[in-house]
Structure formats: C-alpha cells, structure tokens
Amino acid sequence: MIWAWALGALLAIAAAPFAVEALRRPMTAKARAAAPGGFAKLPLGVTHYRWIGPERGKIAVCVHGLTTPSLVWQAVAEGLAEDGYRVLVYDLYGRGYSDRPRRAHTRALFHQQLSDLLAHLHITGPVTLLGYSMGGAIGASWAAAHPDRVERLILLAPAGMGHNLGRIAHITRNWKGIGDWLMLAMFPRNHRRATESERPIACDVPGIIDHQQDELRWRGFVPAVLSSLRGMLAEVLQADHTALRQAGLPVLAIWGREDRTIPIKAMGVMAQWNPDANHEVIEGAGHGLTYTHAGKVVQAIRNWR
C-alpha cells in the first residue's frame, strides 16, 4: 500500500505541470474581442497586428522577443511615429493575441509569419526592420534572406551570437521529456520573479510588467517559449550577419551596458561577423531597453541617419 501510494504521488507530481498547462485559457475570438488593432488570417494562424503613426509615413516593422508581446515596442514606435514613420508591430506566434500553432518555433516559422503578414497588408517595398532580442535574430536572418525587402536593419540587444543559458536552461532545451516537464514546472515562477524584479525600474510602457506576466494565463505560451529556445534561439547567426555585410545592408545594433540576458560581449562577436555594422551602447540599460530606455533608443536611431 505504501509503495502504491508513493507511486501515485509521484505520478501526480509528474502530471501536474501538464495539467496546469492544459487548464490555461485558449486564445480564442472571444479573448481577442477587446484587443486593439487588427487580425490577419495567415496560412499558419491568426496574427495580431497594430499600426502606429501616419498613414503615409515610411514603413517600419518591429519584431519583439522571446517572452514579450508586441506592446513592448509601444514607446519606441511612438517615437518613430513622431519622426514620420508608419510603424507596424505584431505578435509572434505563441505570444500576445496571435495563434499558438503546434509547430517548431524555428526561423522557418517566424520568417513565414513575417512574409505572410507583409503580403496580407500589401507591403512590397523596402522597409526599416527592427528586431529586439529574439526578434533581432528573426529580423537579421529574414533580412539576410530578403535583402531587397529591407532598407535598414535596426537590432536591439539581438540574439544569435551564442550565449550561455545556464545548466538548468541547457537541460530544459536539450533534453526532451524531462526538459518539457522542467519548463512547465519552473518557467512560470521564474518568469514572474524576473519580470517582478523590474517593477521598481522607471518604465516608458505603462503596465508592461503586468502584460508580460499575463502571458502565462494563456495556453501555449510556455511551450512556445521552450520551442523557441530549441529552435530560433539555438541558432548562431554568423552566416546571416556575414550575408548582411555582403549585401551592403545598413545595420545599427543598440546594446544595453548592463544587459545580463544578451551580454555586451555579443557586440564584439557581431562586429567580427559584420565590421560594417554600427553600434550604440546605452549606459545603465539592461535587457528591457525597449521599455526602460525608449527615448535613448529612439535618439540613437535618429543619430544614425
């Protein structure tokens, strides 16, 4: 009896994280009812997007990161809109109000989403493309594949240079099964703790901490993060950055001096791959520079012109 009880307890513990994920709310039309902006029914799923700025402005497209919804761009987008840009922000699959397709979150998925969205919105000319964190990896690799579609590339704390995830994250990413369990069991608490630690920091996007934590309410978000760690974020983008240089595409990379997620040493790696890229370092900024130092980010972009 004791062994049976112990076995039952172990099975319950093992099943609990998967049960919690299954009980999270699905992203449905009802959940999207109050969302601002519009929705595009793309081949791989519904994508939520918003326009910010004048209708006749030059188009800038913003790609957000691993755990942040597109709202993370709000203050930067408003600054660009003041300069005459018409800014497109959208939620990556698995985040915000977009669908959670059951596909590997590799460059293929994110490239198709971006290409499909631009086609849906009839955007054919070159754009200014901005990417933040994982969005920097998506933006850089998409620009390398479509250099004729990009006028300028702006990367904020971009992933893709390789970084040490730590032992637990390494196991989570590389060991399927136990990694899935660890992700579902540990990531929600760690995500809340990490975002809560930023609450005392002055912020340019009101409510961004709550919005980041709200992502945990929705089914598919945590698996999407894990799939991205195993997919898009597992890539080292040396070939892509080399291709950007060969294409002669203007590139600006903006880094946070105090960033612990994408350390400043990544700037040196990128400089080796693409010596023609421009770099700007924001003193005192961590990884959340899009919403903690939006004014300085916009100023860095203005100075680059």
Across 32-36, average pLDDT: 93
pLDDT in tens, 229-286: 999 999 999 999 999 999 999 999 999 999 999 999 999 999 999 999 999 999 999 9
pTM of the full structure:
0.95
Please answer whether residues 71 and 98 qualify as being in contact, where contact means their C-beta atoms are separated by less than 8 angstroms: no
Q: Residue 216's Cα: distance from chain center in Å?
A: 15
**Domain with 103 in it: what CATH number?**
3.40.50.1820
Across 215-231, average pLDDT: 96
Residue with tokens 């945590």: 222
Domain assignment of residue 30, yes or no: no
Please answer whether residues 94 and 225 qualify as being in contact, where contact means their C-beta atoms are separated by less than 8 angstroms: yes
Q: What is the SS3 assignment for 146?
A: coil
Domain assignment of residue 290, yes or no: yes
Confidence (pLDDT) at 250: 98
90 — alpha (psi -120 to 50), left (phi > 0) or beta? Answer: beta
Please give the torsion angle defined by the CA atoms of residues 191, 223, 225 and 16, in that order, rounded to the nearest 10 degrees: 20
Confidence (pLDDT) at 126: 97
Across 137-153, average pLDDT: 98
Residue with tokens 């018409």: 86
Q: Residue 82's Cα: distance from chain center in Å?
A: 24
Residue 235 token pair: 């890539």
pLDDT in tens, 39-80: 999 999 999 999 999 999 999 999 999 999 999 999 999 999
Domain containing 134: what range?
41-304
Q: Which residues of 256-281 are buried (b: 16+ CB within 10 A; e: fewer)?
A: beebebbbeebbebbeebbeebebbe
Domain assignment of residue 237, yes or no: yes
Q: Distance between terminal CA atoms of the chain?
A: 74
Q: Which residues of 150-163 are buried (b: 16+ CB within 10 A; e: fewer)?
A: bbbbbbbbbbbbee
Confidence (pLDDT) at 71: 97
Domain assignment of residue 209, yes or no: yes
132 — alpha (psi -120 to 50), left (phi > 0) or beta? Answer: beta
Confidence (pLDDT) at 7: 47
219 beta partners: none
Across 141-154, average pLDDT: 98
Domain assignment of residue 75, yes or no: yes
Number of domains forming the structure of the chain:
1
Nearest to 131 by CA among 240, 206, 28, 226: 240
Confidence (pLDDT) at 10: 55
Domain assignment of residue 16, yes or no: no
pLDDT in tens, 173-206: 888 888 999 999 999 999 999 999 999 999 999 9
Nearest to 221 by CA among 198, 185, 188: 188
Please give the torsion angle defined by the CA atoms of residues 195, 206, 258 and 216, in that order, rounded to the nearest 10 degrees: 20
pLDDT in tens, 90-128: 999 999 999 999 999 999 999 999 999 999 999 998 999
- Edge to edge, what strands does the sheet with 150-156 contain? 38-42, 45-52, 85-90, 58-63, 127-132, 150-156, 251-256, 278-282
Please answer whether residues 253 and 158 qualify as being in contact, where contact means their C-beta atoms are separated by less than 8 angstroms: yes
Amino acid residing at 33: A
Domain assignment of residue 1, yes or no: no
CA dist 200 and 178 (Å) reads 35
- What pLDDT band is residue 166 in, cutting at 50, 70 and 90? low
Confidence (pLDDT) at 169: 76
